[in-house]
Structures are given as C-alpha cells and as structure tokens.
C-alpha cells in the first residue's frame, strides 16, 4: 500500500497560511483523481483542493484548522485492494459482464491531460485573478479557443486553449492564483469517450441494469464554496434550491449573489383559510422593508488595489507640489471650428483638444528636459523622447496607455493613436507593454466637470498635467473686459528634481503654445 500526501500549495507571494473551509469528501471515502476533496480559505480567496490519485481519503486536518504553506491536509491511500473495495460484494454472475462496462470507460481514462497554468505576464506581476470563464466545465474546446480572461494589477488578457479536448476547470472565477498555478485541465481526445461513458450498461445479479457511471450527480453538485455558503445563509436560501455553475455543479459566490429567495406559492381559493376579515392585519411589519438600509461588500479588484497602493506610495515618497495657470481656449476653438470638417475628411478622425495638449506638452518637454526626467536611486535619468501617458477612465478603473515618441507625431497621428488606445482600454485589451514606460502624463478631469484639481504623479514619472472644464469667464484683453472660454491647467511635479522655476516656466510655455496654436505648426 502506498500513500500520497496532499499539502497546502503555494497560493500567493504574501500568503503564509490557510484555513480548512469545508470537506467535500469524508474520512475513509473513496476518491477519484482530480476530484475536489475540500476547500481552503486564505485572506485573499477561496480555492479547491483536488485528489492527486485514486484511493481512500485519510483526513489529517479538520474544518477550521489553520495550516501553514506546505502543511499536511490529508493522505490518499492507493493500492489494488482499495481499487477493488467498491466491488467487494460477492456476485459471481455480475462479475462476468464487468469487461463490458470497463471497455467503455477505458478510453476516457487513457486520455492525455494538458494542464493550463498561469503564464508569466510581466516582470513585476506575481499573481492574477480569474475575471470570467468563456467556457464551462465539461465543454469541448478547440486549440487556441479563448477559455477565460485573467486580470492582473496592470492589465487584462485572454487565456487560449493549448490543445483540443474537454475542459476541466480547477479554479473558479474570482480566484486569485500565483504565476505557474494550474487554472484548468484539458482532456485531449476525451470528448467521444466521455460522451459514450454514461450510456454503457452492465446487468447486475438482480436483473436490473445500471450505467457504468454509478451516479449522474457530480460529487460537488449542490455543494457551495465557503463564500457562497455564507451569502446563502444570510439570504436564508437552501443551497439545494440553487443551480451551481462551478466545477461539477459546485455553487460559486456569483451563484449565491444572483440567487433570490423563492416567493411563497399563492394558495388556490380552495386552500384559502377561512378566517375573520381582521386576521390578515398580522403581517403589518412589511412597510419596514421600505426603510431598511442595505449594505454590500465587494472585493477590490487587483487593478483597484494596485492603484490604491501606488497612489499612497507616491504621496509618501515624493515631494509633490502643484502649480496652476489658465488658458484662453478661444484660438484653439476657432481653429477647430474652421478646419474640423476638412481635417476629418482627409484623415478620417476628428480634431480634438487632446492632440493640441499632447503636442504642446511634447514641445515643452524638449525645452525643459528636467520635467521629462525621473529619479532612479541616486541618479536622475533624462529622456530625449516624449512618451506621453494619457489617462483613460474605464469600468475597471483608471489606466494610462502610452503614446510613444509624441514629439515626432502629427496632429492626425496623435488623434488616431488616442482613439486606438482608448478603445483598447475600454475593451480591456491593453497589454502591459502599452501601459509601461511613459515619461509624462496628461489627465483630463474636465470631461467629468472638474473645475480645478491637483493630480497625483504617475510614478516613476516626475510630473503630470491636469486639464479641466472650459468655462466662459470675464477677462481683460488689451484693456477691455471680454468673455472668453477659459480652462484652468495644473502641473503636479516632484520637487526633488524639478524646481519652481522649471515647473512654472514649463506650464507657461504650454499656455503660450495653446493660446497661439500656429506656434505648434511653425515650431516656434
């Protein structure tokens, strides 16, 4: 008899211990390879533990026990006696047809299994979260077909199938996995065998027929994950009344959130209780539901946690200061109104404000290179190019795709690149390379109605320009009071490398270029 020890796997760089959430199988029960035997809870996610072989389960840790990484969870006893244990009842007559049932199952067991693991997606990325599954457990998939979407703290990317076969999901949507962890398995060539296995029948000694698959119910069917069990208990819903979309019919957190209590059936007239008319006044507390105050807890995404961590780090690690100025937008607006139709007709894109600001900043950065630099240890790194990051708001949070070599681009090229990157951002298709390496950032809070703000630097960059809404104001021009469309602009910068003279001069130069856009065309 041999034993296989199942220990707590490495589930994340910062996770040092886990808690046994619940046991799906009991001590002494027979288990199959890849069958879920229990669930583990960490401070970040819940995940399932599967059997590594066929055999008998010997539980070593009980529900609620806290184990370190590498701690012993259970032991699987494997032997010839164990394999024959379920068929220990003597039945000479039933044993003869056994080869008929095993013949139909054999092709499924002989199928090659391809493990799909979390790929290396970036130098600093140590874990990812499964955002959503495009296929379900047991579905047939084709080579290079997209199985699921993975979300890191920097980008979202798709996971294509590495082979054609039957999908076996190991980690549910919402699970956080470390690089190299198993996401799912693909049983190559198991499609036809799996389809034929349930219909194979073997006669028993009592004359009744049973299928080769002893039970149509999955071991996990109707069994909620720890998070799902808690939500269902709070709602007062019986797990048996909820259909599971997880592995083998397991109830996931999303299933529990979507589940609604079943309304009490309306009795027929014959079933109506014959009671006094005043009796129905008993359910009077119902109006309190209108005054009830709800509360929801939503787990932060990896992107949101990273944004929060980086913003706090910037505030704590830089000497950030903000200087302000105002821009008369009338010259740009007049130029756009005059040429926007011809511009769109020739280049196929509209002429927006962002291309003027991007071009103005690219020119100013060449004249004030310290604003385009950053600190690396004890050195200041100066960039001879202007890779300008443009902040884009998405449903997942704020992302900053980079326009490379903006100082060499024309207005039409900038507009096309902005549209392309913004579309990728909103579709969650940006790659990590498209968001790394910027030297300066522009953010436009004006599209949301912001009048004035102090934007936070996008580290390791040293400065960021904040645009705001355009408001008509009374200003003095050539000794006369006139109404002009005015925008406040703000430059937040790291005072460790950028002095007040350089920051103010940079912003004044941007103001000059925007208020006289012909300077951008003539490069003066």
Taking CA atoms, 111 is separated from 107, 199, 219, 291, 401, in Å, by 6, 19, 21, 58, 44
Peptide bond into 437 cis (omega under 30): no
- What is the spatial distance between Cα 40 and Cα 38, in angstroms, rounded to a whole number? 7
Q: Which of 384, 468, 495, 502 is catalytic?
A: 495
Residue 488's Cα: distance from chain center in Å? 35
- What is the spatial distance between Cα 309 and Cα 298, in angstroms, rounded to a whole number? 18
- What is the spatial distance between Cα 323 and Cα 282, in angstroms, rounded to a whole number? 66
Q: Which of 328, 499, 502, 516 is catalytic?
A: 499
Task: Spell out a b/e string for 345-381, using b for 16 or more CB atoms within 10 Å of the CB, else e.
Answer: eeeebebbbbbbbbbbbbbbbeebebbbbbbeeeeee
495 counts as catalytic: yes
- What is the spatial distance between Cα 323 and Cα 507, in angstroms, rounded to a whole number? 8
- 157 near 150, Cβ under 8 Å? yes
- What is the spatial distance between Cα 377 and Cα 496, in angstroms, rounded to a whole number? 12
Taking CA atoms, 411 is separated from 14, 209, 367, 417, 419, in Å, by 46, 76, 20, 10, 12
- 327 near 515, Cβ under 8 Å? yes
> What helix, strand, coil percent values describe the chain, rounded to 5?
30, 30, 40
Looking at the annotation, which residues are catalytic?
495, 499
């Amino acid at each position: 008899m041999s034993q296989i020890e199942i220990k707590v796997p490495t589930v994340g760089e910062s996770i040092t211990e886990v808690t046994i959430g619940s046991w799906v199988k009991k001590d002494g029960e027979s288990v199959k390879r890849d069958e879920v035997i229990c669930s583990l809870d960490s401070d970040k996610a819940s995940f399932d533990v599967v059997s590594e072989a066929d055999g008998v389960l010997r539980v070593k840790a009980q529900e609620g026990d806290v184990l370190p990484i590498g701690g012993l969870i259970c032991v699987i006893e494997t032997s010839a006696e164990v394999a024959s244990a379920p068929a220990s009842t003597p039945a000479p007559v039933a044993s003869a047809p056994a080869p008929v049932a095993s013949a139909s199952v054999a092709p499924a067991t002989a199928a090659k299994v391809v493990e799909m693991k979390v790929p290396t997606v970036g130098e600093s990325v140590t874990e990812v979260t499964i955002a959503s599954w495009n296929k379900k457990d047991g579905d047939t998939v084709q080579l290079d077909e997209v199985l699921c979407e993975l979300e890191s703290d920097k980008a979202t990317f798709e996971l294509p199938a590495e082979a054609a076969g039957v999908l076996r999901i190991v980690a549910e949507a919402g699970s956080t996995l470390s690089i190299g962890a198993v996401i799912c398995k693909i049983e190559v060539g198991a499609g036809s065998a799996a389809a034929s296995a349930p219909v194979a029948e073997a006669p028993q000694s009592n004359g009744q027929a049973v299928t080769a698959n002893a039970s149509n119910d999955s071991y996990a069917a109707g069994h909620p994950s720890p998070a799902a069990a808690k939500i269902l208990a709070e709602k007062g819903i019986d797990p048996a009344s909820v259909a599971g979309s997880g592995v083998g019919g397991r109830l996931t957190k999303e299933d529990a959130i979507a589940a609604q209590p079943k309304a009490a059936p309306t009795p027929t007239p014959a079933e109506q209780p014959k009671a006094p008319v005043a009796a129905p006044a008993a359910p009077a507390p119902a109006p309190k539901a209108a005054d009830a105050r709800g509360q929801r807890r939503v787990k932060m995404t990896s992107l949101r946690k990273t944004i929060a961590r980086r913003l706090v780090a910037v505030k704590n690690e830089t000497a950030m200061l903000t200087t302000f100025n105002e821009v008369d937008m009338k010259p740009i607006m007049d130029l756009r109104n005059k040429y926007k139709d011809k511009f769109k007709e020739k280049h196929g894109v509209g002429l927006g404000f962002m291309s003027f600001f991007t071009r103005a900043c690219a020119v100013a950065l060449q004249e004030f290179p310290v604003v385009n630099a950053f600190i690396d240890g004890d050195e200041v790194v100066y960039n001879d190019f202007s890779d300008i990051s443009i902040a884009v708001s998405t449903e997942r949070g704020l992302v900053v795709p980079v326009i490379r070599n903006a100082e060499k681009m024309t207005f039409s090229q900038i507009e096309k690149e902005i549209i392309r990157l913004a579309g990728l951002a909103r579709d969650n298709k940006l790659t990590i390379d498209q968001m790394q390496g910027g030297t300066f950032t522009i953010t436009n809070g004006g599209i949301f109605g912001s009048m004035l703000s102090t934007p936070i630097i996008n580290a390791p960059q040293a400065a960021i320009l904040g645009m705001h809404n355009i408001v008509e104001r009374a200003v003095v021009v050539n000794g006369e009071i006139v109404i002009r469309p005015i925008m406040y602009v703000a430059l937040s910068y790291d005072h460790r490398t950028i002095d007040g003279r350089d920051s103010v001069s940079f912003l004044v130069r941007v103001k000059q270029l925007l208020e006289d856009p012909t300077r951008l065309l003539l490069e003066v």
